[in-house]
Amino acid sequence: MIKYSETHEYVRVEGEFGFIGVSDYAQKQLGNVVYVDMPEVGDELEAGEDFGAIESVKAASDLIAPVSGEVVEINEALEENPRLVNADAMANWIVKVKIADPEQLSELMDEEQYAAFCASH
């Protein structure tokens, strides 16, 4: 299951874990990604609060957590090659979290709702 936030982050849910990244729509808007600022393993993310930043040649954007949870892994490949986000945003997640409150997922959009949201903005 993949859910999306209005700030263009996604969370791909696998059991009690969520893989958080930026949507394909967001990476296209950003252009060439040159840097991803990630939290540390063990950090606690709060839904709706920033947990890092993503920078492109055009702009820098805060990363906003779609769900709360503890960071259990970061995508270290992005430290060496942040442009992986441009290559495949859905495969190149930024952080893996242990989801603290699965109920928060119901506040996010599914793929169809997110597509309609993007089309209207």
pLDDT computed for residue 10 by the predictor: 98
Whether 121 has a pLDDT exceeding 90, the answer reads no
pTM: 0.97
Stretch 69-95: mean pLDDT, rounded?
A: 97
For 24-53, the pLDDT digits (tens) are: 999 999 999 999 999 999 999 999 999 999
Q: Give backbone dihedrals phi and psi of 18, rounded to 5 degrees, phi first.
A: -130, 135
Higher pLDDT, 89 or 121: 89
How far apart are alpha carbons 86 and 27 in whole angstroms?
6
The Cα angle at residue 56 between residues 52 and 62, in degrees rounded to 5: 25
